[in-house]
Structure formats: structure tokens, C-alpha cells
Amino acid sequence: MQNDIHYLDGVYAAAVTPLNADYTPDLEAIPGLLNFLAGRGCHGALILGTTGEGPSFSPEQRMAIYRAALLVRQAYPDFRLLAGTGTPSLAETIALTKRAFDLGYDGVVVLPPFYFRKASEDGLFEWFSQVLHQAVPHSGALLGYHIPPVTGVALPLDLLDRLKQAFPDRFAGIKDSSGDLAHARQLGERFGKDLLVFNGNDRLFGSALSLHASGCITAMANLLSPELRQVWEAFKVDGDSTLAQARLTLGREALDRFPPMPPMIKALLANLHGFPSWMVCPPLQPAAIEAIQEVTTTFDSLVPA
């Protein structure tokens, strides 16, 4: 049972980014999507993470998207917003991070500089230190984004420890999208609740919570946030989340058969919840019709009668 709750703990959707036919952000559609997520049990959303195709947009587009997302708070004033601000450019990452906090975001999720994949731990420490020092206020929270299958750059436990020691009030933790249960166990054993860890793989959510994870930030929360919330609530009161976790595992297995996530998540939002058939930004391509039909059938079977 989870007793000590941090203000950022909870279930977050790695929100998709609605796009127009010309690949520009559909800013008017963003608040409606976030209202939908809030109404289905999400504590908050990550804007412009991997599922949100963050690296595909210019700094100007990102800032417009950040501003559009704030409108969710008109209907859900307590809805938490995290901004994906990491880029390979230190100066650009600092500017985006500072702007997100200026707008009132609750935190940022920052990819490591993923172009120089052989950078040393000392180099990564200095890079993150500059972002933290120059862009994160003392009341802010920066989460490192650990997704080595995509970035090719891991965030070692020793690096996390150094950053937490150097910036105890600003370096909050990580989004762990490694999909590796052994790594989740190492994080829990080393840091306990001293470091916020947000699980990024739905099939591991219940296990991650038992290893001191603070919550989740996942692509599938766009679709199965009620199940994620059930697992979260059951963990807090020592309840039974077996059925909800089983649905999450089956859904994630279906999605993992047809990577990458953004095209399929957008297709399922259209098929299952009536959203427009939003584009994805090149180099991503729309999911194949046969794959969409197969995954839609799976997700239909996961919804309780």
C-alpha cells in the first residue's frame, strides 16, 4: 500500500498531438482531447512526449501546443500538465523548459541529448545541470526521460543519484520507458520513494507500483486510462487489480505488434471514441487498415460489458 503521496503521483496520458492534413498542429482540438482524458481518470498528461511526436515540431509549434493545452484547466482546474522539452540542443531545451514553467506547467520531461550517443556520464551530468540551473525554478520538477530503445542514450542510476544530490529540489525523477522489469527493480531498491519514477510500459504498471513507482505516463492511457486508474487506486488501498492489469497487458501486447505507437493510438481514438482521424507527422506513416482492424477488435474485447 502506498502511504506517502507526492503531488505529482498518479496516472498520466502521453497524449497524442492532433494534426491537420498539412501536418500542422490542430490547436483547437487539443483541449477537447485533454478534457476527454481528464474525464476518464487521468490525473494529468504529458504534452509532446514520444506519443505526442514532440521531436517532430519546431520550437514555435511546441510553444503554441503548450499554450493550447492549458485550456483544459478551464473545465479541470487541477489537471496536471507535463511538457516534453528535450532536444539535442542545450540552448533550445533550456528555452522550451523555461517557457513551460512560465506558462504554469507542473513539470517537464526531458530527453537526453540523443544525437551524441557516446557522450560520457560527466557530459550528460553537465548537460542536465545546465537545464536545471538555468530553466527549472525551485518549485519546479524535472523528470529525465529514460527511453534507450528510442534515444540510444540511457540514464544510468549513478547519473540519477548525482543529479538528485546536486539539485534535490528540482531534479524530481524519471519517466522509465525501458520496458525492463529488472531496471524498475533496481530503481526501487536504490531510491525507494526518494526519486519519482513514472512507469512507461502498461504491462509493468502493477509491478512498478510495488517497486515504489510514483505512477505512470503511457501511450495507452489515451485509450485505457480507466484500467490504469483502477490499478492505481487498488494499489493505494491494497485492493485487487488483477483483472484491470490483465486488460492492460493484453492491450499493450496488441499495440506492441504494430509499432510505432502514435499512428495506431490516433486510429484507435477515432475508431473507439469518435475523434477525427488525425494525421501523423512524417517520417511516421498512418497505420495499415488491417492492423487497425485487428487492434480495434482486441480493444473492443477489453471493454467491460
Q: Which residues are designated catalytic? A: 50, 115, 145, 175
The answer to whether 160 and 146 have CB atoms below 8 angstroms apart is no
DSSP summary character for residue 107: E
Contact partners, residue 33, CB within 8 Å, separation at least 6:
15, 16, 18, 269, 275
- The Cα 4–Cα 2 span in angstroms is 6
Closest by CA position to 69, among listed 18, 135, 141, 145: 18
- The Cα 189–Cα 155 span in angstroms is 16
b/e per residue 72-108 (b: at least 16 CB within 10 A)? bbeebeebbbbbbbbbbeeeebbbbbbbbbeeebbbb
Question: By three-state DSSP, how is residue 304 classified?
Answer: coil
Q: How many residues are recorded in the chain?
A: 305
The answer to whether 46 and 106 have CB atoms below 8 angstroms apart is no
To the nearest 10°, the Cα dihedral for 28, 34, 37, 41? -150
